[in-house]
Amino acid sequence: MALLPLTALFEGDVLELLIPVDDGDTVEAVTGAIAHHVVGRRVAKRDAPIRLRHHGNVLDPQVTIGSAGVGPLDHVEAFYA
Amino acid sequence: MPKLSRSDWYDLARDTNWTFRYVTEEEVFPEELSGTHRVSTDGWLKWDEPYKIGYREYVHNQVTKDTTTYSLKNAIGRSKLFDQLDPGWKSVIVAHYGAISMPEYLASIGEARMGRFGRAAAWRNTATFGTLDEIRHGQIQTFFPYGLLDKEPRGDWALKAFHTNNWIVLAVRYLFDDMFVANDALSIALQLTFTLETGFTNLQFLGMAADAIDVGDLEFGALISSIQTDEARHAQQGEPTIKVLIENGEKEWGQFLIDHMFWRSWRIFALLTGLSMDYYTPLESRRMSFKEFIEDWVVKQFADQFRDYGLDFPWYWDEFINELTWYHHAIHLGVWNYRPTVWWNPDAGVSEAERLWLEEKYPGWNRDFGRHWDVITENVRNGDIAATLPETLPITCNLCQLPIVRAAGVIVGAHTDPAPLTHVHNGRKYLFCSEPCRWIFTQRPDRFAGHQSLIDRVLSGEISPPDLGTVLEYFGLSPEEQGQDADNYAWALNGNGTKG
């Protein structure tokens, strides 16, 4: 369990954001943390699931972000699937 | 007693080049401070300033300018002129004073460095006048906003800003440290005077003075005009410097220094002038868009300069031209969202009428940026202001220190990948907003590697806990000083789409 600062974008937004998470958080929780700062704020809400992309790979929502191979200050992108 | 005309004595009085007997040339002009050793001493003797002035004439001109400007200030200070100005325009000048007054004063250090370490007596002479200019600019641009304190307390950010670690100041200070405070005489001549002043600020000050008169801010107009005429003179140090470099086979080095600083100047210009021209200046007073201004003035100016001196356009020119359509719109969205973190009141500038203007000037603006403002407008209309304010920080670039808005380039089709660019130096990972910012860093990493960006300061624990309250305190912003929407959301709340 350790702090894992990410640089994150929600697809369709323009700002790259600092999202500090715990490496034990699930990908789903990280996705939610990113969406919290963007959806309904600068990007319209949509009734669709949100996924997370890292180096072009869509991550399994249930695994932890640390075990998904995401490192400090890595760029991740949340997007409407 | 008959007086000699200037041309009879000028060269003799100016060319006080000494032949050193007790010290070496290297000791008098250490390369780190002078930067001129690529060219021989004889080569520098050809340095000749295009615009000549004697001390008597200089003092006479400056006294006349000061008398006019201060008289106007005294007359206007007794009027209600400032109270009647558009809130967006007030933001333009409050932002300007905070970001520019101290750098003007610091530029006197850069001019003084050329005045001491420039290799030609003619250059040192011109730079001495430049030093006096910049001291005046620092003082007058601090004095004027202090006259506004009873109407606009944040006028004191003219002095205060550079004594804080506000994120805008981090960006501006880091740029000007690179450009003149921590730079050698030759690089200052090419990067401050040739690139920033001739290419950007001299033209911008002309435009700003005209805009100020147009919106009824006679005081600011007179101030800026009085400064611009100095800039036009001392900015000319770049031309003879690049000429000497080229004549001595050192064009490549000059080109590198210009390429480096053109990009950095563009970045800060997009932030300060881009937002002012396209969002803060009242619609009825906008003579041209920021993009039109850059194309008609800055691009033309540089094209002429490059042609005249046989220089090439910077390698990233296409990217620069491309950014004119989107970069400052993305930065504006960020600055408005983060409005409590700046010392002026950002003007959203997106009333119905303003959106029509933006779409006309930037076809596709509604598709690319209007959709974000649609969501924001809806939140304002629903009374959910909290949803329009930030809860985390943006990632900032390790070179320009501005928020990374690369994704906006993807939205408009200019980039294919929104991921920040990275570079690892001595085990530390650096993030960049653009290829030119990364290029500038990697060309001379030791020059930049030690600097801590806003994000580095958060991650190192210097800003802790990293919540907005702590960050605002770190930025030196009391609740009264924090920026608010300039129009109190009239642009969203008024059904007729006026600014209110």
For B247-294, write each residue's pLDDT tens digit. 999 999 999 999 999 999 999 999 999 999 999 999 999 999 999 999
- Tokens (6 digits) for B498: 């006026």
Residue A33 inside a domain? The answer is yes
- The per-residue pLDDT for B218 is 87
Residue A59 inside a domain? The answer is no
* Chain A residues in contact with B459 (beta carbon < 8 A): 5
pLDDT reading at B114 higher than 90: yes
Residue A54 inside a domain? The answer is no
Q: B208 lies in which domain range?
A: 38-250
Residue B25 inside a domain? The answer is no
Beta strands in B221-289 (DSSP E): none
- The per-residue pLDDT for B495 is 61
Q: Is A5 on the interface with B (CB under 8 A)?
A: yes
Poorest-confidence range of B214-218, B436-440, B482-486? B214-218
- Tokens (6 digits) for B335: 């600055």
pLDDT grade for B373, boundaries at 50, 70 and 90: very high
- The per-residue pLDDT for B350 is 98
- Tokens (6 digits) for B285: 């007073």
Residue A57 inside a domain? The answer is no
Q: How far is B57 from chain A (nearest CA, A)?
A: 52
Residue B60 inside a domain? The answer is yes
- The per-residue pLDDT for B500 is 42
Task: Answer whether B330's CB lies under 8 Å from B408's CB.
Answer: yes
* Chain B residues in contact with A20 (beta carbon < 8 A): 392, 466
Mean pLDDT of B302-325: 93
Residue B64 inside a domain? The answer is yes
Report the side by side order of strands in the sheet with A75-80.
A17-22, A3-10, A75-80, A50-54, A57-58
- The per-residue pLDDT for B1 is 55
Average pLDDT, chain A: 97
- The per-residue pLDDT for B72 is 85
Mean pLDDT of B128-144: 95
**Unique residue bearing structure tokens 């702090």:** A3
Q: A6 lies in which domain range?
A: 1-49+73-81
DSSP code for B189:
I
Task: Answer whether B464's CB lies under 8 Å from B472's CB.
Answer: no
- The per-residue pLDDT for B408 is 95
Residue B337 inside a domain? The answer is no
CATH number at residue B166: 1.10.620.20
Question: Cα torsion for B196, B202, B206, B212, to the nearest 10°?
Answer: 60
pLDDT grade for B181, boundaries at 50, 70 and 90: very high
Rounded CA gap, B192 and B184, in Å?
A: 11
Residue A43 inside a domain? The answer is yes
- B197-211, B225-239, B427-441, B466-480, range with greatest mean pLDDT: B427-441
- The per-residue pLDDT for B335 is 98
Average pLDDT, chain B: 93
Residue A29 inside a domain? The answer is yes
Higher pLDDT, B201 or B142: B142
* Chain A residues in contact with B431 (beta carbon < 8 A): 7, 73
- Tokens (6 digits) for B262: 């053109």
- The per-residue pLDDT for B204 is 81
Q: Is A80 on the interface with B (CB under 8 A)?
A: no
Task: Answer whether B98's CB lies under 8 Å from B167's CB.
Answer: no
Q: Is B402 on the interface with A (CB under 8 A)?
A: no
Q: In Å, how far from its chain's centre is CA A48? A: 15
- The per-residue pLDDT for B2 is 64
Poorest-confidence range of B16-20, B55-59, B314-318? B16-20
Buried b (16+ CB within 10 A) or exposed e, B423-432: beeeeeebbb
Task: Answer whether B99's CB lies under 8 Å from B291's CB.
Answer: no
Residue B419 inside a domain? The answer is yes
Which segments in chain A show pLDDT lower than 70?
A: none
Q: What percent of chain B has pLDDT over 70?
A: 98
Rounded CA gap, B356 and B371, in Å?
A: 14
CATH number at residue A45: 3.10.20.270
**Unique residue bearing structure tokens 């930025």:** B475
Residue A56 inside a domain? The answer is no
pLDDT reading at B128 higher than 60: yes
- The per-residue pLDDT for B242 is 96
Number of domains in chain B: 2
Residue A10 inside a domain? The answer is yes
- Tokens (6 digits) for B159: 């002095």
Which residues, numbered 21 to 40 in chain A, qualify as contacts with chain B under a Cβ-Cβ cut-off of 8 Å?
36-37, 40
Number of domains in chain A: 1
